Structure 1
Amino acid sequence: MPLTTTPRTRSTSGISAAVLDLLLPHHRTTAAAPGGVVAFPHQLRRIADFVRAGEPVVFTLPGFPCKSPNPAKVLGHLPDQGERLSLGFLNTLCEEIERIHPPGARVIICSDGHVFGDLIRVPDDHIDAYADALGHLIRDADLRRLSVFDLRDVLGDLPHGAKRARVHQGYAPTLEALRAEVRSEGHTLALYRGITRFLVDDTADFTGTRSALQRECRQRAYGVIQRSRAWGELIAEHHPRAVRLSIHPQPIGAPKFGIRLLDAPDVWTTPWHSAALRRADGTWTLMPRTRARQLGRLVHRHGRPSHYEQG
């Protein structure tokens, strides 16, 4: 028996490490570079579970909620080249995993716009349109290793407000517990500050003072984190074995693996908070629309603004 089980164990371990090694160059973190795959035991264990079973590795990625409501940052309320490139990156990553682990991999994009749409001040019809267009992008580009999961898959046609209330009541941490965590844990404090900054930057029509806006956004940031935590718990309930990815920076060795979708100067930048710019050398980066407009010309695709291009 030892002669047959030991090689299989080594093979599972080696394949799992090789799969994780493909993700490491894209790790989104504010910490120093880790010393290899051994620094990520949570991810290794979950990947090994799929490898051992001879099944595709399943990743869940909360994100792709909707476009920022600030027109200075984005081209509109529908997905554009930033999302198109990000989806292509995720599908290509799954293809690379397939070369190591023949059953391959798939990413379930857990679109969370409706979870906190009221807090980020984005209309529900814009969120629906964004999620539907995201599905069209996946189908049109034949990105067969990707799928979209959102509140409609969980709570059907209930009113959006009722869905949010049910998720919050069933899964969110209390405000008191979250405030205590922000005071005591550096990572949660960084997340709280990052979301507050995004909420301030995303507000385009506030009529009060800057300090009043910041106070309001600090309050809303707690709600966003509560709902995000609730969404994460709900995702885990529906996809309990999945490897958990995050678009937010994550500490080394955390249960969630932060992943960078595209090049950007800030670890917090996402395609839905920015516009894509194709540099003169053919590489892509993300930045606020007003900055991209200064550097390149606007390109349309299928009759809609898509991205900016230098040269």
Structure 2
Amino acid sequence: MASSTINCGFSPFHHTLGLFCRSRDGRLLNVEGKEADVVAYHWPAIFKRLKLSNTTFTPLSLGLRVETTIFDTVADLPGPSSSQSYNKLCVREVYRDTSKCYVGHLGYWSQDKCDEAFVEWIETMFILKTTIQPQQNQRVSIFTPHRIWDFTVERWAKIWFLFDTTLRTLLGVEPKPSISCYREVVTEKITVLFEQMLRNTAVSDEWNSSGRNYFSCRVRDFVNRNEPCNMVLPAFPCKSPSDAKVGGSRPDMAERIALETLHDFIESIKKIYKPGATILIIHDGHLLSSCIGVDDDVVSEYESDIQDLYRSMFAFSTDRQAIRFCGINDLFFSEPNSMQSFDNSWILDPELVHDPIQIKVSETAELSRKLVMASCGINRQHLRKLILAQDPATLKSYRGLSRFMLQDLEGSVFAGQSTSRKKKTACIIAAEMMARNQAYSNLLELLFPNYIRLSVHAHNNRGPKFGIRLFPRHRVRVIDDIDCRHECVSMYDFQTPTPWHSSIVKVKGDEIIYLMKASVARQAIASGRYTGGWVDDVDKGGYYLLQEADPVVPAKDDMGKVDTLGVFDVNDSCRSNKLTT
């Protein structure tokens, strides 16, 4: 079976063609979404039908109103991923006085939809919360891989001639640097900083072939408006429930270093671009809490602790602006207009969220999980079919997550279960996590369509997501063996463990610090080869501090020969550990 995608379903996201900005007279100012290039191509026909059709008006608070127009679809528009047929389009719009334009949602509409009230509510939420803005240039540039290359070549051709000193000399002129030239230079410098400071290389990396151009186009969009380059990163959910991986349930030195890494990147951008940049960290712990066996209140405490940690790291509020935080609860409940007409009966379907592990549930968090799945969830039956058909990409993710969760939940969650039961539960959890993660990604695509999307997971880096490293290579080395700590582990070249699944370990005498499972440090101490333990550093966060124990002095037997049985061979230990891992 050819490789397919799990992102198929019947949710409002899957009926969405795009989000757009337009002027009062109908000029398309920007469009984002999976069918953005198609919408741009058909926009004249779409707007013509929009003008000729009847519009209904729904008043909101603060003087806003939603304008809804339903009309016949335009020929050649691609249908939704579901097998159902849709012959109507629906446009919902709100006029934004701040940007002097309409912001709208374009999607398919059908009288057969079972929850039309919910669809209206969630699509209204999309246009109220989305960050899409008009582009500065009049021509709408669509961020799709096959069009970015031509766009970028055109831009760089202009730069080449602007900087050609030989041509300037021949013409006898020295023109002042243009604004467009300055913007191109800044865009390139920010892209280079990302390459050097954050980007993580993937096994099948497409950064050089297409991803770099995509990234630069996103940066340029902010630079053209002289605004901060906004990035979004789903991360910092909560500490792993596995004692074998972490030293505790609260943020420690690992989280601190990760925040420093992100902050240093933003500060480097500020040195070359005055508006700077920001990274919006969206906590995703509540999304997955019932998959990883962590109570909702524990997740909330971790989120609060992370934000407190970041504030404590910098004395001045201006230094704290590099990173902002929010959770999935904030995505839905921070907009008064969104919750004004919400009805809980819309999300009573028990199939919305499958909870593989029983936890202490927060009512607000559970509501958020259901809203994510109701608004952007995939078809689980389609996912199961792909797994059973052994679709290569789907099966790889499914098996990888199953193995990971089998290790992560080995402690209290899996206590007393048989091996077969553990494997079955891990597989159920993996499928549910894949469904939730994809739905969450879909939601962020709609709410932050113009933001640069970062991820702690490995990606091919062609866009729209880019994998990053939270630990600088020159400062932190990822290892799985203390005795062989001076050797790099190739498996971590493409996927660095996260702070919430690992622990920081310092070894006296070593300049570099290490990232590993907590159990590795504990085993090293228990073996007697190292002394030390957990250091609960209030200021810089907890970590393991180890020191090599004094070497064992070999004893002589009665004949004066050296007894070598008590001598510890580091090299033999390394080889032995490698064989057993």
After TM superposition, give the deviation of residue 213 of structure 1 in Å: 1.4
Number of the residue aligned with 1:309? 545
After TM superposition, give the deviation of residue 66 of structure 1 in Å: 0.5
After TM superposition, give the deviation of residue 240 of structure 1 in Å: 2.5
Greater shift after overlay, 223-232 or 278-287?
Answer: 278-287
Number of the residue aligned with 1:274? 502
After TM superposition, give the deviation of residue 268 of structure 1 in Å: 4.6
Offset from partner CA, 1:115-164 (integer Å, 9 cap, x none)? 11101111111101100001101111123311111023124495322221
Q: Does 1:115 align with 2:287?
A: yes
Distance 1:199-1:138 versus aligned 2 partners, 3 A rule: same
Question: Max radius of gyration: which structure?
Answer: 2
Greater shift after overlay, 163-172 or 108-117?
Answer: 163-172
Write the mapping of 1:1-311 to structure 2, written as runs, cut at 5 A.
7-25=178-196, 26-31=198-203, 36=208, 39-142=211-314, 143-156=320-333, 158-179=363-384, 183-184=390-391, 186=393, 188-203=394-409, 204-205=411-412, 206=414, 207-262=416-471, 263=476, 264-265=478-479, 266=492, 267-279=495-507, 280-293=509-522, 294=524, 297-302=533-538, 306-311=542-547
Distance 2:228 2:190 in 1: 11
Higher relative contact order (CA 8 A, sep 6+): 1
Number of the residue aligned with 2:87? none
After TM superposition, give the deviation of residue 189 of structure 1 in Å: 4.1
TM-score of the superposed pair, with normalisation by structure 1: 0.89
Distance 2:293 2:219 in 1: 37
- Larger helix percent: 1
CA contact (8 A) 1:276 1:292 kept: no
Greater shift after overlay, 297-306 or 88-97?
Answer: 297-306
The CA RMSD over aligned residues, in Å, is: 2.8
SS at match of 2:275: coil
Distance 2:514 2:190 in 1: 26
Distance 1:221-1:115 versus aligned 2 partners, 3 A rule: same
CA contact (8 A) 2:247 2:534 kept: no
CA contact (8 A) 1:75 1:305 kept: no
Distance 2:193 2:402 in 1: 32
SS at match of 1:55: coil
Offset from partner CA, 1:4-57 (integer Å, 9 cap, x none)? 9x9444433332222122222432343166675864232221111111111111
Distance 2:235 2:400 in 1: 15
SS at match of 1:40: helix
SS at match of 1:234: helix
Distance 1:166-1:33 versus aligned 2 partners, 3 A rule: closer
Q: How many residues align?
A: 309
Offset from partner CA, 1:175-216 (integer Å, 9 cap, x none)? 233345664453x54433332222111111312222321222
After TM superposition, give the deviation of residue 165 of structure 1 in Å: 1.4
CA contact (8 A) 1:109 1:148 kept: yes
Greater shift after overlay, 169-178 or 199-208?
Answer: 169-178
Distance 1:167 1:239 in 2: 15
CA contact (8 A) 1:21 1:37 kept: no
Distance 1:304-1:215 versus aligned 2 partners, 3 A rule: farther
CA contact (8 A) 1:270 1:286 kept: no
SS at match of 1:96: helix
SS at match of 1:302: coil
SS at match of 2:542: strand
Distance 2:373 2:284 in 1: 13
Distance 1:36-1:19 versus aligned 2 partners, 3 A rule: farther
After TM superposition, give the deviation of residue 113 of structure 1 in Å: 0.3
Distance 1:79 1:52 in 2: 38
Distance 1:229 1:76 in 2: 29
SS at match of 2:325: strand
CA contact (8 A) 1:194 1:268 kept: no
SS at match of 2:321: coil
What amino acid sits opposite 2:545 in the alignment? E
After TM superposition, give the deviation of residue 107 of structure 1 in Å: 0.7
Distance 1:87 1:208 in 2: 37
Distance 1:10 1:34 in 2: 27
Distance 1:10 1:181 in 2: 48
Following superposition, which runs of at least 4 residues in structure 1 exceed 6 angstroms of deviation?
none
CA contact (8 A) 2:206 2:460 kept: no
Distance 1:51-1:19 versus aligned 2 partners, 3 A rule: same
Distance 1:118 1:298 in 2: 29
Greater shift after overlay, 143-152 or 11-20?
Answer: 11-20
Unaligned runs of 5+ in 1: none
TM-score of the superposed pair, with normalisation by structure 2: 0.49
Distance 1:84 1:297 in 2: 19
What amino acid sits opposite 1:254 in the alignment? G
Offset from partner CA, 1:266-289 (integer Å, 9 cap, x none)? 315110011111344332332111
CA contact (8 A) 2:373 2:436 kept: yes
After TM superposition, give the deviation of residue 301 of structure 1 in Å: 1.8
Greater shift after overlay, 149-158 or 97-106?
Answer: 149-158
Greater shift after overlay, 293-302 or 109-118?
Answer: 293-302
